[in-house]
A and B are shown apart, each in its own frame.
Chain A
């Protein structure tokens, strides 16, 4: 069964304190791995799509990496506005273009 586990469940950082969020996955053939950011009471905002092991993508203070078993979202010198829940989702080849399986998310709080 396809599964996504995110850790930690919650993370508190001081402004400027870099860290990483983890997304471990089990899937029968990976079509894609997705990172989203969700603010309270809003829909998820797309960040990155990763397709194959070794792939990396960057956007401002965020960098996503992918291995055959997990993905990391690295946050460099975070600011308070980076506070949000970060969601990881996978799409399997068997699931086609439709089904995204989400992890429970990591709630990030960045304090000044």
Chain B
């Protein structure tokens, strides 16, 4: 149980274009999903918390107009990197908590999306 998928697994785009990344909970409903960013040989940094049916909560220093998050259903959250630039190149990972489990604190992660902006 608690399987999270992401699509696409990798994407290459030109500078100035927008890229959408999907995160799905496959076997449970997630009212809350999370988006992380990971640079090479560094740990995960939380970017924002995505809440179904309401606005996302962004961490300090994360531009909400640049990283648009939509959580339209209990199984899908999307992250759109708008007007992407080379410095946005990174590994983006989503996670979700399964509220049906006895211990709800554990976050289960997707496989990640590698973004390269040329």
Contacts and interface: CB of A to CB of B under 8 A. Distances in A.
Taking residues whose C-beta sits less than 8 angstroms from the other chain, chain A's interface range is 20 to 34
Contacts of A49: 103, 105-106
Interface residues of B, number: 27
Nearest to A48: B106
Overall SS of chain B's interface: strand
A31 B6 CA distance: 28
B54 interface: no
B114 A98 contact: no
Interface in A40-62: 41-46, 49, 51
A102 B104 CA distance: 18
Nearest to B44: A102
A72 interface: no
Given A97-B32, A97-B97, A32 B42 contact: no
Interface string A1-42: 000000000000000000000000000000110101000011
Interface in A46-85: 46, 49, 51
B112 A42 contact: yes
Contacts of B68: none
Given A43-B111, A44-B93, A99 B106 contact: no
Given A43-B109, A97-B104, 10 more contacts: A31-B105, A32-B106, A34-B106, A46-B106, A49-B105, A97-B105, A98-B46, A98-B49, A100-B46, A102-B44
Interface of A: 31-32, 34, 36, 41-46, 49, 51, 87, 89, 91, 97-100, 102-105
* 6 closest residue pairs by CB, A with B: A43-B109, A102-B43, A43-B112, A32-B105, A44-B109, A43-B111
